Amino acid sequence: MLALDGVDVSIAHREFVCLLGPSGCGKTTLLKAIAGLVTLDSGEIFINGLPVTGPGSDRAMVFQDFALLPWADVLSNVAFGLELRGVAKAVREAGARELIARVGLAGFERHYPRQLSGGMQQRVGLARALAVNPEILLMDEPFGALDAQTRRLLQEDLLALLQATPHTVVFVTHSVEEAVLLADRVVVLTPRPGRVRDIVTIDLPRPRPPDVNLLPRFSELTARLWRELKEAQS
């Protein structure tokens, strides 16, 4: 069954783009294609003018289900990608410790995933992805399984991290409010097979103010995206 059809999107360097659409519309398939984890039947994806033919060191992915190594502690999980690249132990652990502190987990370096809450595990996943310093950060509903309070805290933490160290981000979400809070642009996809219905520019200030969701423009953009989703499924 066809997952995507005629999707044509350009993403700028250090832009934050959210993919928004109903379940089964191909958002995760598109993200995995960018990551080089699935092969396209037709079409191509280019990064800096070069076709994607498989996974690459310029990309890192954060998953909804955390995907941590259960037998490894926080420090080892965060340093894992650097270990695969042959980075010396002292160097990779120093970098991992710095990122662990940046995501608010200093003191938990020797804890195992089973000893952490869901929000803490996702912080580890984010730190692991950032540790390899990817040009492109691919995020597949990373906060979708978390409670509302933890989700909002991690959204704010992500924005702060990216403000300090910008990356190009492609972020899959089902949440209209999350897309408006995080993105520079939102790509709205139709039901399967996913096609681009609209691309909406989120013209809110950066850095996002703490009360950004109270701004009239936030409400206007949220309402517009809800209309787009409803009309796409009618």
What is the identity of the amino acid at 75? L
- 221, 200 Cβ separation under 8 angstroms: yes
- Kindly state the tokens that stand for 46: 């280019």
Specify which residues 17 forms β-bridges with.
170, 185
- 164, 142 Cβ separation under 8 angstroms: no
The DSSP secondary-structure symbol of 65 reads: T
Integer Cα distance of 63 and 143 in angstroms: 9
**Tens-of-pLDDT digits for all 234 residues of the chain?**
788 888 999 999 999 999 999 888 889 999 999 999 998 888 899 999 999 999 998 999 998 887 899 999 999 999 999 998 999 999 999 999 999 999 999 999 999 999 999 999 999 999 999 999 999 999 999 998 888 898 999 999 999 999 888 899 999 999 999 999 999 999 999 998 889 999 999 999 999 998 999 999 999 999 999 999 888 877
Which residue is it, tokens 């990373």? Answer: 142
- Kindly state the tokens that stand for 14: 């250090």
Predicted structure pTM score: 0.94
Give, to the nearest 10 degrees, the angle between helix 118-131 and helix 74-84. 20
At 1, is the secondary structure helix, strand, or coil? coil
Identify the pLDDT of residue 42. 87
Domains of the chain and CATH, by start: 1-58+134-234 (3.40.50.300), 68-133 (no CATH)
DSSP secondary structure, 124-164, as one string: HHHHHHHHT--SEEEEESTTTTS-HHHHHHHHHHHHHHHHH
Give, to the nearest 10 degrees, the angle between helix 118-131 and helix 89-102. 130
Q: How many CB atoms lie within 10 A of CB 6?
A: 10
Residues in the chain: 234
Identify the pLDDT of residue 54. 92
Identify the pLDDT of residue 227. 93
What is the identity of the amino acid at 157? D
Identify the pLDDT of residue 79. 95
